[in-house]
Amino acid sequence: MMTSARQKLTAIRDYLKFAHTDRKITLSGPRWRSRSTTILRFHLFTGISFVGLLFLSCSETRSGEFPNVLLITLDTLRPDFLGAYGSNAGASPEIDAFALKSVVFDRAIAASSRTVPSHASIMTSLWVREHSVGWANGSSRLNGEKSLAEVFRAGGYDTAAFVGNMLLGTPVGLDSGFDLYDDDLHDTEANRSNFMERRADESTERAMRWLAEERERPWFLWMHYQDAHGPYVPPEEHAAAVHLEIADEAPLPLLDKNRGKNGVPAYQVRPGSQTPSAYAERYAGEIHFLDAWLGKLLRAVVEEDRNTIVLLTADHGESFGEEGLWFSHGFRTTPDQVHVPFILQAPGLNPGRRRGLVHHVDVAPTLIGLAGLEVPRGSRGIRLAKWLQSGRNLPIRSVFSDIGTEVSAYRGDHFIRVSLRKSDSESMYFSWTSTRNWFISEFSEKQLSSDFEDYLEIQTDFVTVDEQSRLEHELRMRQLQALGYLEVGKEAEP
């Protein structure tokens, strides 16, 4: 934890006025057992884990069965634009159809409102302050933490990832454990020619070619779709396919910077568009485009194996006017930016909706458990399938979203939000029911406050992107410049 943040803990405790719970954080060396052998392999977590070489046995699948596993992360997707979460815009027919056959979690919280920290927590089942990426977005990397892909590869799986955001490139370390990590990006954003991405059509076609390869082993596939990220420039036919109610509204001013309040950020500006509804329609059109290609992938997967495990979520949401922020993310830990879709389909799980709180840290233990592999006790998340199969309600617990300068702790229908930007830290309690509906509350809870204090005490060294990776990345950028894909002399400004 940065010194400036640590200096503010005293002020936060004075505000909370609750006793501090003494929770010691120690290290552990979790063991991983390959499916093909009985050798116990030891791996020492970097950062925070627990003492002991103990494991939670996995019984979510029948002995001897090792299903294919598909993880889908959608960049910048707030759930209230999906039909499965109440939207009538018609932007997501394929996701909606998938949700009807799945378990839909109404209240899922992202680890951060930034891409790299959220994906690091998804892959490691660690809080943002526990893994070596921390809350930085592209300048730090995973460094030794056992990742989801490493567990699957050690368990005898073929592993592949197809990512569409340049921030998820190999320098940040998320490629660990993947036999194939495809971050070959050639498209540029509409307003930022130095920001590389890949659209849903190309990512899906590449993944389907990989899936078509002959193999004797099960596979784990991570698909990341970038399309809902701004600027919103959907293909015309997909923009025309969505239908939003247009309100009588004033145009928004156009900002000259990529961040700011009460206006359209510079990187989002599109000619002839200044009203909130115009941008909302474009955003919905982008969702419709990625949805169509995601549907092709899902159908191909089901045709190959109907027992495939599929989990869909988003790295974070997007503000649409909340607290004066328009079409942006990464600056808050409130529901508009950290409430995300979370949909799980697996053999033996009955379709339905669950209102219990879930989090990015639940992704890894849930998928590992469903695949019949062993989950280390150091995981911060829970194996959701175990709870679903038992018929019990999900446990009441505190979960965290963190961008460094602001942290929120969520528990049930409430969250506490602390800003660390100012010398006098500001803390406030909120109630929330949905992405849009959250408000200051008189509520306070001792357990939530105590858990929050414990979380802020976590100290892990963030690891910066190493010089060799940085040089390789710069060489690649120069090659792209030579090919005409990138303007010379510009740096990425995510």
Q: What is the per-residue pLDDT for 370?
A: 96
Mean pLDDT check: name the lowest of 50-59, 265-274, 333-342, 362-371.
50-59
High-pLDDT (> 90) share of the chain, %: 66
Q: Give me the mean pLDDT over the 242-247 stretch.
A: 84
DSSP 21: P
Which is higher by pLDDT, 71 or 270? 71
Res. 485: pLDDT tops 90? no
* pLDDT band for position 312 (cuts 50, 70, 90): very high
Could you tell me the pTM of the whole model?
Answer: 0.84
Which is higher by pLDDT, 24 or 186? 186
The answer to whether residue 408 sits within a structural domain is: no
Mean pLDDT check: name the lowest of 62-76, 174-188, 202-216, 226-240.
62-76
Number of H helices and E strands in the chain, helices first, is 13, 22
393 touches 84 (CB < 8 A): no
Q: What is the per-residue pLDDT for 179?
A: 97
Single-letter amino acid, residue 47? G
Q: Give me the mean pLDDT over the 345-357 stretch.
A: 96
Q: Of 425, 468, 417, 304, nearest to 6 (Cα)?
A: 425
* pLDDT band for position 46 (cuts 50, 70, 90): very low
Q: Give me the mean pLDDT over the 396-415 stretch.
A: 95
The answer to whether residue 54 sits within a structural domain is: no
φ/ψ of 360, rounded to 5, equals -50, -35
* pLDDT band for position 47 (cuts 50, 70, 90): very low
Res. 57: pLDDT tops 80? no
322 touches 300 (CB < 8 A): no
Show the tokens assigned to 25: 């954080």
Q: Give me the mean pLDDT over the 169-198 stretch.
A: 89
Q: What is the per-residue pLDDT for 479?
A: 54
70 touches 160 (CB < 8 A): no
The answer to whether residue 14 sits within a structural domain is: no
* pLDDT band for position 14 (cuts 50, 70, 90): very low
Q: What is the per-residue pLDDT for 97?
A: 97
Which is higher by pLDDT, 415 or 493? 415
* Secondary structure E strands in 315-351: 319-320, 326-328, 339-340, 342-345
The answer to whether residue 434 sits within a structural domain is: no
The answer to whether residue 457 sits within a structural domain is: no
The alpha helices in 37-195, defined as continuous H runs, are 93-100, 115-124, 148-154
125 touches 365 (CB < 8 A): yes
The enclosing domain of 369 has a CATH number of 3.40.720.10
The answer to whether residue 19 sits within a structural domain is: no
Three-state secondary-structure class, residue 104: strand
**Is residue 341 reached through a cis peptide bond, with omega within 30 degrees of 0 on the bond before it?**
no
Q: How many structural domains comprise the chain?
A: 1
Q: What is the per-residue pLDDT for 36?
A: 32
Angle between helices 276-304 and 93-100 (to 10 degrees): 50
pLDDT, one tens digit per residue, over 93-133 is 999 999 999 999 999 999 999 999 999 999 999 999 999 99
| CA gap 480, 328 in Å, rounded | 27
Q: Give me the mean pLDDT over the 145-164 stretch.
A: 97
Residues belonging to the chain: 494
Q: How far is CA 258 from CA 88, 191, 207, 492, in A?
A: 30, 11, 32, 12
Range of the domain at 172: 62-395+463-482
Single-letter amino acid, residue 128? V
Question: Please, what is the average pLDDT of the chain?
Answer: 83
Show the tokens assigned to 63: 């002995």
pLDDT, one tens digit per residue, over 448-481 is 989 999 999 998 888 988 766 666 666 655 554 4
The answer to whether residue 373 sits within a structural domain is: yes
Three-state SS string over 235-266 comes to CHHHHCCCCCCCCCCCCCCECCCCCCCCCECH
The answer to whether residue 259 sits within a structural domain is: yes
Three-state secondary-structure class, residue 49: strand
